[in-house]
Amino acid sequence: MARTITYQQAINEALDQEMANDPSVILMGEDIVGGSGADGEMDAWGGPLGITKGLYTKYGDRVMDTPITESAFIGAAVGAAASGLRPVAELMFSDFMGVCFDQIYNQAAKFRYMFGGKAETPVVIRTMYGAGIRAAAQHSQSPYSIFTHVPGLKVIVPSNPYDAKGLLIQAIRDNDPVVCFEHKSLYQSEGGVPEESYTIPFGEANVVREGGDVTIIALGLMVNRSLEAAEALAADGIECEVIDPRTTSPLDDETILESVENTGRAVIVDEASPRCNMATDISALIAQQAFGALEAPIEMVTPPHTPVPFAGSLEDLYVPDATKIETAVRRVAGYSR
């Protein structure tokens, strides 16, 4: 039975159902319970935004608060995964990757390869990303391309509640290390989600909107912004196809290329810093494999090459909005040699 719930509830449900399903699934993170060692209640927070609320009450010791010690607990999640558990660790803000990157980059990602195929490291690291709430430079970044770059890791970026639950359940059942990027502004977004457990395979993009004139490829929060732009453009007879890759590693090349073969025009919308982000990666893919089909240069809609600013007036200029997307689409739609 599908019903409307929030992205946050969808994540909680995925964790809850998998923990019920499999005793080797454990959770760890900072304040994911809240109240550990203190005199008041346990489950005081259920995570900084309440996402894991209720899970400690159901599963007790399998849900563990950690000290603020990312390299130790992310490393512990990795070591526990290589030792037969299926841990889901929460890295509160993806910006904190700096203090635990080795455990993900040099350890988790590489065990299977370095150890000649003997290791399995089924760890999931969930992390918040994205700008827009004035959290400033160290709490607003979108570093998914950095993890995508690393062979041995899988990276997912769900943009809506249905995808969030299905991709996270898939991630927990997956036997490789997976990093799940959740945009902080999407947690209250709503969508239809089946009550039952279900999965979504990695490497399958979602064609959110069909259209024959311009292909827009967008991730996370940028999917909704692209749909806004597409509505406005449709009024002028420009029909956009909006593709949400959903997972950046593996990436669904086929769906992207098929669409660009059809439209000949591509706009990629990426909230991450412009150098070496997913937009550059997908641009190269399209330029290399769909060159003959292109009728216009590929456009990328990204923030400028700056840290994320604090003041709202600046942050609103920083993050790509529907207007900027529209402008880029009109440019490629109107382009002729």
Partner 1 sequence: MSDQDIHRLTMPKWGLTMTSGTVVKWLREEGDEVAQGDELVEVETEKIASAVEASSAGVLQRCIANEGDTVSVGGLLGVIAGAGIPSEQIDRVVEKFAVAFVPDETAISAAGPSTQRVVVGERSLRYLKLGDNESPISENPPALLLHGFGGDLNNWLFNIEPLSAGHSVYALDLPGHGESSRDVGDGSIGAFAAAVIGFMDAMDIHAAHLVGHSFGGAVATHIALAEPGRVTSISLIASAGLGPEINTGFIDGFVAAERRGALRDELGKLFADPALVTRRLVDDVLKFKRIDGVTEALRQTATGLVTDGLQAPGYRNRLHEIAAPIQVIWGQADGIIPVSHAAGLAGSVRTTIIPRAGHMPMMEAAGEVNSALADFMDRATG
Partner 2 sequence: MALDREELLHIYRVMKTIRVFEERIHDEFATGEIEGFVHLYAGEEASAAGVMANLTRDDRIASTHRGHGHCIAKGVDVRGMMAEIYGRITGVCHGKGGSMHIADLDEGMMGANGIVGGGPPLICGAALAAKVKGTRNVAVAFVGDGASNQGTTFESLNLATVWNLPAVFVAENNGYAEATSSKYSVGADSIADRAAGFGMPAVSVDGHDFFAVYEAAGEAIKRARDGEGPSFIEARVNRYFGHFEGDAQTYRGPDEVEDLRANRDCIDIFTAAVTTSGDIALADLEGIDRDVLGLIDSAVAEARSAPRPGADDLLTDVYVSY
Catalytic positions are: 139
Under the binding rule (CB under 8 A), the answer on residue 235 touching partner 1 is: no
Q: Which does 194 bind (CB under 5 to 8 A by kind): partner 1, partner 2, none?
A: partner 1
Q: E strand or H helix at 259, and its extent?
A: helix 253-263
Q: Write out the binding residues for partner 1, residues 198-217 only, by CB under 8 A.
A: 198-201, 204, 207, 210
Give the tokens for residue 236: 């002028």
The minimum distance between CB 2 and partner 1, in angstroms, equals 8
Q: Which region, judged by CB under 8 A, interacts with partner 2, from 61-69, 140-148, 282-290, 324-332? A: 61-69
The minimum distance between CB 14 and partner 2, in angstroms, equals 20
Under the binding rule (CB under 8 A), the answer on residue 42 touching partner 2 is: no
Using CA atoms, how far apart are residues 42 and 63, in angstroms rounded to an integer? 11
Where does 134-183 show beta strands of DSSP type E? 154-156, 178-183
Using CA atoms, how far apart are residues 150 and 155, in angstroms rounded to an integer? 10
Cβ-based nearer residue to partner 1, 3 or 337: 3
Under the binding rule (CB under 8 A), the answer on residue 91 touching partner 2 is: no
Where helices occur in 38-158 by DSSP H, the ranges are 55-59, 70-81, 101-102, 111-114, 144-148
Cβ-based nearer residue to partner 1, 173 or 331: 173
**Residue window 155-184: x/- pattern of binding to partner 1, with contact defined by CB under 8 A:** -------x---x------------------
Cβ-based nearer residue to partner 2, 12 or 247: 247
Under the binding rule (CB under 8 A), the answer on residue 102 touching partner 2 is: yes
Pairing of the two strands 2-6 and 190-194: antiparallel
Q: Which does 136 bind (CB under 5 to 8 A by kind): partner 2, partner 1, none?
A: none
Cβ-based nearer residue to partner 2, 74 or 325: 74
Q: Which residue has the tokens 């942050």?
A: 315
Distance of CA 74 to the CA centre of its chain: 18
Give the tokens for residue 277: 């982000």
Residue 336 gets which letter from DSSP? Answer: -
Is there a contact between 86 and 28 (Cβ–Cβ < 8 Å)?
A: no
Residue type, 137: A
The minimum distance between CB 2 and partner 2, in angstroms, equals 29
Q: Which region, judged by CB under 8 A, interacts with partner 1, from 22-30, 91-99, 179-187, 195-203? A: 195-203
The minimum distance between CB 59 and partner 2, in angstroms, equals 11
The minimum distance between CB 107 and partner 2, in angstroms, equals 6
Cβ-based nearer residue to partner 1, 104 or 240: 240
Using CA atoms, how far apart are residues 304 and 113, in angstroms rounded to an integer? 37
Using CA atoms, how far apart are residues 76 and 87, in angstroms rounded to an integer? 9
Under the binding rule (CB under 8 A), the answer on residue 114 touching partner 2 is: yes
The count of other CB atoms within 10 Å of the CB of residue 272 is 24
